[in-house]
């Protein structure tokens, strides 16, 4: 891909998950796995997708993937994201800053904080191991 924008994704846009076809259909290419700097908290939004929010203290490094997305494809992907998710600058543990999918704080109100899991994949794996009956992940 000659031209593209790096986009950090931390939830269902990741490889093999529910919304990953949105990235693939937009012509995006997977680049690498990464982690944020330790300034984020993570919430599960009804066990359907996560919301990552930057905080001033008490944050963690969140596991994510970095993709290269064509400019037109980026708009397409973002318009298909669930309500309450937006785009912002995300500093990575490598020192690089890329665009990334973030959650609006209001979206997290009343939701389960999952920061201790370190990322969406780890949280989903824990749900599968625990066979949580209310999980929408197994439907």
Q: Is 138 among the domain residues?
A: no
Q: Is 135 among the domain residues?
A: no
Question: Nearest 5 degrees, angle CA 104-CA 115-CA 97?
Answer: 60
Structural domains of the chain, count: 1
Q: Tell me which residue range forms the domain holding 18.
A: 5-130
pTM greater than the 0.75 cutoff: yes
CATH number of the domain residue 120 falls in: 3.10.490.10
pLDDT in tens, the chain (139 residues): 458 999 999 999 999 999 999 999 999 999 999 999 999 999 999 999 999 999 999 999 999 999 999 999 999 999 999 999 999 999 999 999 999 999 999 999 999 999 999 999 999 999 988 875 554 554 4
Q: Is 15 among the domain residues?
A: yes
Q: Which residues contact 126 (CB under 8 A, 6 or more apart)?
A: 117
Q: Is 101 among the domain residues?
A: yes
Q: Is 49 among the domain residues?
A: yes
In Å, how far are 2, 52, 87, 123, 128 from 78, measured between CA atoms? 21, 15, 8, 23, 28
For residue 105, the SS3 value is: helix
Q: Is 136 among the domain residues?
A: no
């Amino acid at each position: 891909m000659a031209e593209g924008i790096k986009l950090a994704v931390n939830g269902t846009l990741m490889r093999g998950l529910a919304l990953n076809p949105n990235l693939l259909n937009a012509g995006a290419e997977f680049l690498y796995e990464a982690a944020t700097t330790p300034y984020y908290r993570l919430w599960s939004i009804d066990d359907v997708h996560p919301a990552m929010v930057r905080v001033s203290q008490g944050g963690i490094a969140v596991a994510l993937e970095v993709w290269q997305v064509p400019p037109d494809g980026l708009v397409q992907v973002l318009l298909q994201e669930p309500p309450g998710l937006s785009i912002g600058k995300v500093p990575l543990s490598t020192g690089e800053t890329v665009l990334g999918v973030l959650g609006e704080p209001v979206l997290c109100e009343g939701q389960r904080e999952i920061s201790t899991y370190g990322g969406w994949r780890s949280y989903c794996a824990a749900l599968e191991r625990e066979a949580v009956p209310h999980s929408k992940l197994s439907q």
